[in-house]
Structure 1
Amino acid sequence: MTSPAPHDGPAHPEHAPRGLLTLALATLIAAAAIGFIGGAFRWCLQQAITLRADLVEWAHGVPVGWLVPVAVAALGGLIGRLIVKGSPRSSGSGIQDVEAVWRGEKELPGPSIVPGKFVGGLASIGTGMVLGREGPTVHMGSTLGSEAGRLLRVSTADRKLLYTTLGGAGLAVAFNAPIGGAMFALEEVTKSFRLRIVLLTLMATAVAVACSRVVLGDSPDFAVPAIPTPGIETLWVFALFGVLTGLVGVLYNRVVMRMLYTADGMRRLSPVARATLIGAIVGALLYVDPNLVGGGDSLTQDLITGMSLSVWGLLGFFAVRFLMGPLSYAAGTPGGLFAPLLALGALWGALVHSVAGPLLGEVADSRLPLALVGMTALFAATVRAPVTGIVLIVEMTAITSLTVPMLAACACAVLTATLLRSAPIYDSLRERMLNARAASPGAAGP
């Protein structure tokens, strides 16, 4: 039987004004820290992506140049997994770890998470793994929150609260989306809108994003042209699209978990060798086309700005990234699932538009609506946090004209996934993590 999550009961002495002020001070310290550290992490990743593209361009001009990106990406996988060997809880996404701590299923980790996620995430994501930057920033933010609480000597329950709320700040920094980060902490992790939790979460995301903008500037992650608001007569298109996206989300979750359990069963190949091999595969695809791998931001931006791809081209990109995301995650290096999932959703929307355009009426005029709605609906189907998904995309694109279609598609995607009894991806990952811990104390999985 697990202990209950931290709560807001009025009898606790630290719920008095003085205790709340101490928590607020810890929140401000940790939020500023994750704002600057998370901003630096994103800046380093941007430089790594630029260097990666230059390296691939150079490799195409030299004999046997394909070996260069293969070697670099394999090295990234190797370094990322070696770091995890020294700091096991740095593996994979930190989101299921944050949820497990909040639910009382795991204890708070030590501060080694911060350098482990920063360096390991930079090594694996920067060299091309199909992983998201939000996993490291969420986990770094959570750990900084817990450490700030320890510094100010708050109770263990309140350190867990800081561990949770600062995770939302980490997500906000990852996507320059303060409201989305707050919604993530409230809707996905705590599943609570109690005043004390809301207050600390809003403080954390506001300060963290303000500090990160000192490093990164303030502009939406994606530059999107104005989109006319679709007419009410098109809602059936988005609803049906949501149902189909729900099916894709269910399949994607199953592939992620199948890849992980298959990797667990590969006893003859050490985790370090496995990560190195997966890195080499990523490097080979990187040589073919950089958009086949990586977090996917540049691919999403290209799709938004009119990248010309045939139906077969879109299908090829979708199929490769559909498999490479789970395969990269199975490497066990630091990195998350969100960012690649958004790129996959954009590809899915563009693909449906290309295949079924003549049947879509007004929606067929541009692939943008389905691409953006696809990002939210696939996120909703896999994570089961539809409001967070919608807010994230609205903040990342500064587009509000698609909110009604997004609501319709997300509702249908979540309904479909729920009726098919598909567990939310982070529930499945948390269960796997806890089972691995029970089978081998001290073990941690992605």
Structure 2
Amino acid sequence: MTFFPFNYERALAWLDQRLLRRLYTDRVRRLLLQSFPFWFASIVTGFVAVGYERVFVWAEQTSFAWLRREPLLAFGLTPLAFLVAWAVVQRWAPAARGSGIPQVMAGIELSNPAHHQRTGYLLSLRVAVVKVISSVALLLGGGVIGREGPTIQISAAIFRAINRLQPAGWPQLSRQIALVTGGAAGLAAAFNTPLGGIVFVVEELTQMHMARFRMAVFSAVIIAGLTAQAILGPYLYLGFPKVTAHAGWFLATVGLVALLCGLAGALFAKALLWLGRYRQRFATRAAQAGWVLACGLLMAGLAYAVGQEGVGTGKPIINRLLFQNDGQTPWYLFPARFAGMALSYSSGAAGGIFATSLSAGAILGDGLCRLGRVPAEDRNLLILVSMVSFLTGVVRSPFTAAILVLEMTDRHSAIFQLLLSGMMAQAVASLVDSHSFYDHLKHGFLRETMAQTVEPPAREPRTAQPENLAP
């Protein structure tokens, strides 16, 4: 019996070639070429976020060290640090001041064909470098700031730069999606909270439909987060605090704490806005420098009186309250941190309010627990609730706040209490101001950016860009 001769190797090669042709279509090739620069930007963001975090920790520990050894140095070093941090921003990148999130929001709004050249004022690499220098200088001198908002602005600047460097014929994503995904990747790498980064984009950065940018955001968050984890390991920002998640009547206590902390956060945001408006009265550089020095001197007095818990990000305070809670928290720590946050932010230097708001909420929640004689086993839950609520009162992103705290602590048993507290804090904060703190600042940055003179582009603008990666 004879068989028809059959060449298996040739058949397999033919099938492979045929299959590859079906899979690697022009659309797939375009999607891969579109995605590659964003994946590269996500890796860069992960490395930069880790490097920034390590420099930030070094600066905070250094400020603790000199404050422990020579508290009187605060009256010299703190005003000097405030002045240097402000001067660097004023001289080289005024848009680097403050948190960075309002700048990203304004950049997203301006990333259209008519105004996209102006986004460089808000999100250039020079702004990113100045952001790092100014925030580290302020922290070295005892400022009360965080790095999460700055990391988001730095990440968006990286994504914008890489998006602009692509060759003219390269299939490109829109400038708007570059900034959106940059912001998400920055938050994910800063906090090791990928879900928080995604929710933050949807809730805070943009009102676009998720389908427009889902693949870009998801891939950027995953790659930036994995890059940070490859260096730091699969860490939790706040560890594994013991939490007993009650229901029933205890939810009334949760609700009361959420309302009080949400109200405090909203009032803090109003105080920052009022200080910002008052600061605008100082028109000359000399008058502005005087304001900065006054802020630095007041901050020096707080640092001298309170010690190292009155300066820095506040993360050590959160860890102490969640894992030790030794009853050593003085009653004046919350107003001192409140004032320190306001003085540091209103100085005009770079620095965020995410981490500091979480620490302020934790201190306030602990104080309320002690005032209400809450049993020790229930305090951790209420401290987490107060962190979510205070942050929500400031930034008006209840789901982002709840998901961030959830991912920082891995306490999934408390998810409903955290979500409930965020919603209640949002409701009470809306009674104080219907707009978020970031929204107010975004409009200010939009006006400031539109007033800038824009240099004509060195080359012709790109041709039309595809809007998304979604099918």
TM-score grouping bracket, smaller chain normalisation: 0.7 to 0.9
Q: Please tell me the residue identity of whatever aligns with 1:429.
A: L
Q: Distance in 2 between matches of 1:442 and 1:344?
A: 40
Q: Retained in 1: the 8 A contact 2:302–2:336?
A: no
SS of the residue 2:119 aligns to: coil
Cα deviation, residue 277, structure 1: 3.6
Q: Retained in 2: the 8 A contact 1:250–1:422?
A: no
- From 54, 77, 82, the counterpart of 1:43: 54
Q: Please tell me the residue identity of whatever aligns with 1:376.
A: V
Cα deviation, residue 74, structure 1: 2.5
Q: Retained in 2: the 8 A contact 1:144–1:163?
A: no
Inter-CA distance 428–212: structure 2 relative to 1 (3 Å threshold): same
Q: Retained in 1: the 8 A contact 2:254–2:417?
A: yes
Per the alignment, residue 409 of structure 2 pairs with 397
Are 2:102 and 1:96 equivalent residues in the alignment? yes
TM-score, normalised with respect to structure 2: 0.82
Inter-CA distance 31–243: structure 2 relative to 1 (3 Å threshold): same
Q: Distance in 2 between matches of 1:240 and 1:145?
A: 42
SS of the residue 1:271 aligns to: helix
- From 326, 347, 350, the counterpart of 1:334: 350
Inter-CA distance 364–412: structure 2 relative to 1 (3 Å threshold): farther
RMSD (Å), alpha carbons: 2.5
Q: Distance in 2 between matches of 1:152 and 1:286?
A: 48
SS of the residue 1:131 aligns to: coil
Are 2:310 and 1:286 equivalent residues in the alignment? no
Q: Distance in 2 between matches of 1:259 and 1:156?
A: 42
Inter-CA distance 102–244: structure 2 relative to 1 (3 Å threshold): same
Q: Please tell me the residue identity of whatever aligns with 1:100.
A: A
Cα deviation, residue 83, structure 1: 1.9
TM-score, normalised with respect to structure 1: 0.86
Q: Retained in 2: the 8 A contact 1:39–1:213?
A: no
SS of the residue 1:200 aligns to: helix
Cα deviation, residue 236, structure 1: 1.8
**Matched positions, count:** 416
Cα deviation, residue 16, structure 1: 5.6
- Where do residues 20-419 of structure 1 align in structure 2 (5 Å cutoff)? 20-59=31-70, 66=72, 68-85=73-90, 86-104=92-110, 107-109=118-120, 110-153=124-167, 158-267=174-283, 269-288=286-305, 289-309=307-327, 313-314=330-331, 316-357=332-373, 365-419=377-431
Q: Please tell me the residue identity of whatever aligns with 1:108.
A: T
More deviation, 45-54/289-298: 45-54
After superposition, give the CA deviation of every residue in 1:84-143 in whole Å (9 maximum; x if it has no partner): 121111111111111112122863223212211121221113332111101221111000
Q: Retained in 2: the 8 A contact 1:42–1:133?
A: yes
Structure of higher CA gyration radius: 2
The unaligned stretches of length 5 or more in structure 1 are 1-14, 60-64
Per the alignment, residue 62 of structure 1 pairs with none
Inter-CA distance 144–437: structure 2 relative to 1 (3 Å threshold): closer
Q: Distance in 2 between matches of 1:276 and 1:16?
A: 58
Cα deviation, residue 57, structure 1: 2.2
Q: Retained in 1: the 8 A contact 2:49–2:190?
A: yes
